[in-house]
Amino acid sequence: MDLLTDNTERILAIDYGEKRIGIAISDPLKIFAIPLITIENNNKFWEKFLSLFNEYNIVQIVLGYPLKEDGTKSKITLKVEEFKKKLKNKVKQPIEFVDERYSSSIATEQIIESVKSKKKRRDKSLIDKNAAAVILNDFLNNN
């Protein structure tokens, strides 16, 4: 049995971006996050994203909520709120916002520490799915 594709319940995390959307899922015991995939934010996004629900038993979604350092909303915050509305129309699982301040910088630091190749470190999709994992780990640690 593969660690990723068994039938246990999992939590999925989303790091929304205007160009790319990072996705992470929890392990079967919901202890840690696994960076899964980065999907281009284009007209094929929903098809690719929704196929994950057939592959994994997703029971909850956490969505990174980008606030400014002082806690106020930005332009991207409003886009994430719109994305959540679209998401609610497509899935039945509960969706919860998680403060994502610093998730990309934490993900970047983790990548620098763990990925030796500078060429691979420049891969933006690596940052997106790892930022989703940071968001999910925050959620798992606080619940």
Question: What is the residue-level pLDDT of the chain in tens, covering all 143 positions?
Answer: 445 556 789 999 999 999 999 999 999 999 999 999 999 999 999 999 999 888 899 999 999 998 878 888 889 899 999 999 999 999 999 999 998 766 566 556 655 666 565 655 465 657 889 889 999 998 998 88
Contact 97, 84 (CB under 8 A): yes
CA distance 97 to 140: 13
CA distance 52 to 34: 14
Q: Is residue 105 part of a domain?
A: yes
Report the SS3 class of residue 32: coil
In this prediction the pTM is: 0.83
Report the SS3 class of residue 67: strand
Q: How many domains does the chain have?
A: 1
**CATH code for the domain of 67:** 3.30.420.140
CA distance 82 to 118: 35
For residue 24, the enclosing domain spans: 9-142
CA nearest neighbour of 49 among 110, 121, 129: 129
